[in-house]
Each structure stands twice: as structure tokens, then as C-alpha cells.
Amino acid sequence: MKFPNESAEYRAARDRLLEAEVELRRHTEAVAALRRELPLGGAPAADYVFDGADGEVRLSELFGDHDTLVVYSFMFPRRPDDDTPCWSCSSILDSLDGAARHLARRLSLAVSAKAALPRVLEYGEHRGWRHLRLLSSASNDYNRDYHGEAEDGQQLPMFNVFARRDGDIRHFWASESFFRSWGPPGTGPRHVDFMWPIWGVLDTTPVGRGKDWEPSREYD
């Protein structure tokens, strides 16, 4: 390929980068295959009862007609001393809301927050979320058991996947890389980049992610 007025130097560098991009794709597919081959994990510690817009709902009921359930732990409140919603989580959920109705063809999706249900629903309406199933976990131990909450009560942005086989519910996968250091200081855990499209776009630009990026607070 060539684009208008590009130099030979540019094309040579771009072709080297293209080989690296292809290799990254191969590795990404290989990791995805390893993930799919995971054996089922442990059974949930409880059939957690959440508060939802239609009343109380158990973890087992969240599957609906699907055999896969994804639950994102939304940092709301962020910390015991800060009861505001997390801006980064809000940005993630802005994107996930648009994808939710498409994902519904293959799985059930829910968003769990420790805040009381009226606050969660009010905030969702404020953000314009129309397709996310918002739940309050204020009355159960789900966030603590599935690492969406630290021992000091701080909420954490965890992504958990559950599978149902012949009526038996098991944990399957979680974004555990949140707890693993992998890069230089300031890079962050990047454990949910796969569902946060702004990073993919920024990574294609000359400036990249930068060191001082933070989500827009336009809707706050």
C-alpha cells in the first residue's frame, strides 16, 4: 500500500510496524484461545441478591436465556470517603451502553455498584444510559468476593464472567491483570482496555495516550 506523497522512509517504517501489528494480532488471538480453553472455576459463594429496577434479582436469575453472564463492578462510590461515581468507569460504561444491545445476542450483561439503587439509576439516567442493566450490590458481598472491593472498602473496576452448564453456575474469568504490575510507572493496569475503545483510538495517534489524560466530565 501507498498513500499520497509518502516518502520511502515512511513506507519502510510503516511496513516494519505493520509486521509488528500482525504479530500482535496473532498473539491476541492465541491469548483469546487460551482463555476459551479455561476449565470452569469455582461455584459462587452465594446466589447473591441484587437490587434492580424491577426489584430484587439473584445472580442465577441474571443469566436469563443465556449461559454466559458478564458483570462489571462500577466504582460507585469510589471510596468510603468519596461517594461520587468514578469518571473512568463512567467513560467505560458510556461505551458499553452502546454495545449492550448487540452483546445481548450472545450473553447477559449487568453492571453492579455499591451505591443505593436510586442513586445508581439516577446517575445512569443522567449519563443517558439506555441499554445497561444497572444493579445495586449494597446489600450483598458480591463486590468483596469477586474483587470489586478492597479490604478498606474502596471500590475496584473488575470485570467478571460466569458460565452456566446444565443449571450449574461457575465463575469463568476475571480481569485479574488489574492486580499485576506489567509496565513502567504511569501506565496503569489496562485490564479493561479491551472494552474501552478510546484507548484503541488514542494508540493510533502521534500523541498517544499521554500521561495526563482523564475522561471528560461533560456529563457530571
- In this structure, what are the phi and psi dihedrals at residue 145, rounded to the nearest 5 degrees? -70, -35
- Which grid coordinates are listed for 19? 509486521
How would you write the pLDDT of the chain (220 residues) with one tens digit per residue?
Answer: 899 999 999 999 999 999 999 999 999 999 999 999 999 999 999 999 999 999 999 999 999 999 999 999 999 999 999 999 999 899 999 999 999 999 999 999 999 999 999 999 999 999 999 999 999 999 999 999 999 999 999 999 999 999 999 999 999 999 988 777 666 666 666 778 888 888 888 888 888 877 776 777 665 5
- In this structure, what are the phi and psi dihedrals at residue 149, rounded to the nearest 5 degrees? -150, 130
State the pLDDT at residue 186.
62
3-state secondary structure of 181: coil
Cα–Cα dist 151/54, whole Å: 30
- Domain 49-176 fold is Glutaredoxin (3.40.30)
CA distances from 145 to 17, 111, 171 (A): 42, 16, 11
State the pLDDT at residue 187.
63
State the Cα torsion 66-200-197-72 to the nearest 10°: 60
93 neighbors 126 (Cβ within 8 angstroms) = no
DSSP 4-25: TT--HHHHHHHHHHHHHHHHHH
